[in-house]
Amino acid sequence: MALVAAGFSTPLGGMIAVADDARLHLLEFVERKELPAELMRLHRIAGGGISAGRNAVIDRTEGQIAGYFAGTLAGFDLPLALYGTPFQQEVWQALQQIPPGNTISYSELARRVGRPLAVRAAAGANGANQLAIVIPCHRVTGLDGQLTGYGGGLWRKRALLDHENRAYSAVIRGDGPRKPGEKA
């Protein structure tokens, strides 16, 4: 599998995307401290190859992230490569069901995947997400609504939630930004 990596700018800092010709494998803010380990793992999975470059998946990712920050795109339609246990993948699916501008607690996340006592495991799966923004782990808070843990930094989590509350409040009313493929 040939993976390529490219960086691009967002209003909250640089991001790196890693993809093959079919799927997005990683999308992270470049300052994330776990990024080197994530890249090494992908390097092993790819059999030693991640090269600098672009492809249609990276271009599509950059375009959809730009739409998200512009407030014109409320969801993502990207082919994803998910590396995780079945439980982690259940958590990531549940995260994708949280609408922009909304948050849930880690205990609610655990309940939504049918494991209400597995709050710590759900939090761990949330933190293992390698597709920032696309799988919106930033929409999970502590039980009291306080912001807790985010690999991109708590300031960035607050900024993402503030952006969504401003840009996507109309989503809840049904007259907001479109999802990929929806007619305007």
Q: Which residues form the catalytic set?
A: 137
Give one word for 85, left, alpha or beta, with left for phi > 0 and alpha for psi -120 to 50.
beta
Neighbours of 96 (CB within 10 A): 15
Find all residues with CB under 8 Å of 46, minimum gap 6, and list them: 1, 2, 3, 20
Q: Which long-range contacts (CB under 8 A, 24 or more apart) does 91-97 make?
A: 91/122, 91/125, 91/126, 92/125, 92/129, 92/131, 92/135, 95/126, 95/129, 95/135, 95/136, 95/137, 95/139, 95/140, 96/135, 96/136
Neighbours of 172 (CB within 10 A): 12
